[in-house]
Amino acid sequence: MKWLIIIWILLVLNAAGGTKWLCSRSTVCTPENRKLQGEKYRVARFESQRDCRLSCGKYGAVWPMPTGPGISLSHSRVHFDPQEMQFSVEAPSEAATQFLHETRRLFVANLLRECARDCTVASSARIVVLATVISGSLVLDWRTHENYKLAINSTLGNGTVVHIQATTVYGARHAFETLSNLVTGSVTRGLLLVSNVLISDRPCYPHRGLLLDTARHFMPLQHVRRTLDGMAASKMNVLHWHVVDAHSFPLEITRVPQMQLYGAYSSAQTYSRKQVVELMKYARLRGIRIIVEIDGPSHTNSGWQWGPDEGLGELSVCLQRSPWESPCASPPCGQLNPMNDNVYAVLKAIFRQVAEMGAPEETVHMGGDEVQLSCWNSSMQIQEKMLSQGYNLSEKSFLHLWAQFHRRNLLAWDEINRSEHPDIPEPKPVILWSSLLTNPDTIERHLPKERFIIQTWVDPHDSLNRKLLELGYRIIVSNANFWYLDHGFGHAKTMYHNWRTVYEADMPDISEAQLVLGGEVCLWTESVDQNTLESRIWPRAGAAAERLWANPVESTVLIERRFYRYRERLLDRGIQAEAVAPRFCVLNEKLCDDPYFVY
């Protein structure tokens, strides 16, 4: 009787497992009873579409694609229980060892989310993960090595051994991320892992960022953390936190409490200093730096209104301007007063806190976009002071004043560096947006290239990137429109760009390639709050993540199936990524292919 029941269970399981899937040479996964004409299928049979996807095609389900060389994925699997995996980590410092233990914890938590049903397996395959890093350092900046090697070797006698080797803990964490892409839930219980794998990998660009604006709308911390989770899943490594703007100033500055008092939407919609420090730790465990932007001189209003009341004079000018159009790019109007010394003192206090909250090697983004010279020129007080200090009122003179503003803040930043981090040997560059001031014809007069990195937000066909590179400036590329994830919503004049367009946005292709630090997709939040935040970012930011990791030449038609799987993985991890194609097209690979009509 007992045996009959077991046989019955096996039959049911087999039926539940149902049809097997096949992988074709052109990387299509198809149920074996619905083979497509013209596809050449391999012999291996898989229990599900996801199982097939794990090793169908050169990159299987790994997103972003590894850059190789020598990538190989077997079609065989081991069936295992994630709780039974064994880990051994080796690193030359206590901090790095601790980091790897945390990485392992996050990795197992992600694996548990892959389990289709129950994660337990009665006779789990024995899997040992051995992770070794060479460097004990936790420094994370543009010079950090993020390379890794991942080898999975399964033999009958010895079970499965996963070897992870990396220069730094950050490379090792990417390897664990890749390892999670080699796993999927079994249709019965437990998980399946590709049993023999060789992957070597390193990113093309050291700056793979996402800009998040928390000033137009305040984003509760749990949503910022989930954004970091999505970035970690995509091997993105910079959260450019556009934390304050003219609309609100939610960041607590302990030395200048007025900023938040006057600037936050409400006392509940704020980020305390302690919360930011914790957020930065959360990010770094996921291989992500948080670069805080304190935008100025433009985009300043909320938080800067209290100067006259407290005897510091006007900190920001044009505040009450209405209509706002002429002296401002957008309402509410405001531009820091470059002739008021108190402005620099307040900024220095803010920069000091930014330096104290971040890692010693971390830098700051000083904004610098959309300055309206006419705003400054409309202030009698600024005009008078300029004339008395030997400036005239020409455009050239105002540009000079604007550059002075940034250079003076840089001096403050350097002074802070000297007192906070006496062991950092070289000056840290700061980041500015491209603007009138970064015009290639005159930029060298205003901003030394060793100290200022320029984040450009121009069309990929614009000559600005090439010209700045030729002059020797380092740049971060935010392709205007293509990489503006908020476009196509809210503002009538902007266009939505689907994931294929995001993916195909070219990086500057020139010999000064090492001056291109990388790029950032941007989420400005005029028309986004926490309710739509995740679907606006994901999965499209992931398309840029692969552009920045691998700078691939493949067309999106070849990679879409891997991208669809990536999106499902985000969903499994609790990130509300938007749909990019009808479910039918995801399930029925190739049946929706049409060169004239692609989702």
Ligand X SMILES: *[C@@H]1O[C@H](CO)[C@@H](O)[C@H](O)[C@H]1NC(C)=O
Q: Which active-site residues does the annotation give?
A: 370
Q: What is the DSSP string of 538-575?
A: TTHHHHHHHHHHH---S-HHHHHHHHHHHHHHHHHTT-
Out of 151, 345, 458, 558, the only residue in the binding site for ligand X (CB under 6 A) is: 151
CB-closest chain residue to ligand X: 427
| Count of residues that bind ligand X according to CB under 6 A | 23
Spell out the long-range contacts of 461-466 with Cβ–Cβ below 8 A and sequence spacing 24 or more. Answer: 464/434, 464/438, 464/440, 465/508, 465/516, 466/508, 466/510
Nearest to ligand X of 86, 392 (CB atom): 392
Nearest to ligand X of 108, 128 (CB atom): 128
Tell me the C-alpha distance between 504 and 497, whole Å. 11
Told to check if 424 binds ligand X by CB under 6 A, we report yes
Nearest to ligand X of 120, 404 (CB atom): 404
Q: How far is the CB of 351 from ligand X (least distance, A)?
A: 13
Grouping H, G, I as helix, E, B as strand and the rest as coil, residue 68 is coil
Nearest to ligand X of 88, 394 (CB atom): 394
Whether the Cβ atoms of residue 131 and residue 172 lie closer than 8 Å to each other: yes
Q: Can you list the alpha helix ranges (DSSP code H) found in 443-507?
A: 443-446, 464-471, 499-504
Q: How far is the CB of 581 from ligand X (least distance, A)?
A: 36
Out of 38, 422, 441, 511, the only residue in the binding site for ligand X (CB under 6 A) is: 422
Q: How far is the CB of 159 from ligand X (least distance, A)?
A: 9
Site for ligand X in 154-193 (CB under 6 A): 155, 157-158
Told to check if 532 binds ligand X by CB under 6 A, we report no
Nearest to ligand X of 157, 595 (CB atom): 157
| Element (DSSP H or E) covering residue 12 | helix 2-17
Q: How far is the CB of 150 from ligand X (least distance, A)?
A: 11
Measured in whole angstroms, the distance separating CA 104 from the mean position of its chain's CA atoms is 21
Told to check if 382 binds ligand X by CB under 6 A, we report no
Site for ligand X in 394-413 (CB under 6 A): 394-398, 400
- Comparing CA positions, the residue from 279, 271, 227, 277 lying closest to residue 249 is 271
Instruction: Tell me the two tokens of residue 94.
Output: 């206590």
Out of 35, 117, 418, 491, the only residue in the binding site for ligand X (CB under 6 A) is: 418
Told to check if 198 binds ligand X by CB under 6 A, we report yes
Local structure of residue 40 (DSSP, 8 states): -
Out of 26, 97, 153, 527, the only residue in the binding site for ligand X (CB under 6 A) is: 153
Tell me the C-alpha distance between 108 and 291, whole Å. 28
Told to check if 13 binds ligand X by CB under 6 A, we report no
Grouping H, G, I as helix, E, B as strand and the rest as coil, residue 487 is coil
Told to check if 414 binds ligand X by CB under 6 A, we report yes
Nearest to ligand X of 220, 427 (CB atom): 427
Q: How far is the CB of 128 from ligand X (least distance, A)?
A: 11
Phi, psi dihedral angles at 569 (to 5 degrees): -65, -40
- Residue 29's Cβ-side half-sphere holds a number of Cα atoms within 13 Å equal to 29
Q: How far is the CB of 14 from ligand X (least distance, A)?
A: 30
Tell me the C-alpha distance between 108 and 131, whole Å. 14
Which residues would be at the binding site for ligand X (CB under 6 A)? 151, 153, 155, 157-158, 198, 373, 377, 392-398, 400, 414, 417-418, 422, 424-425, 427
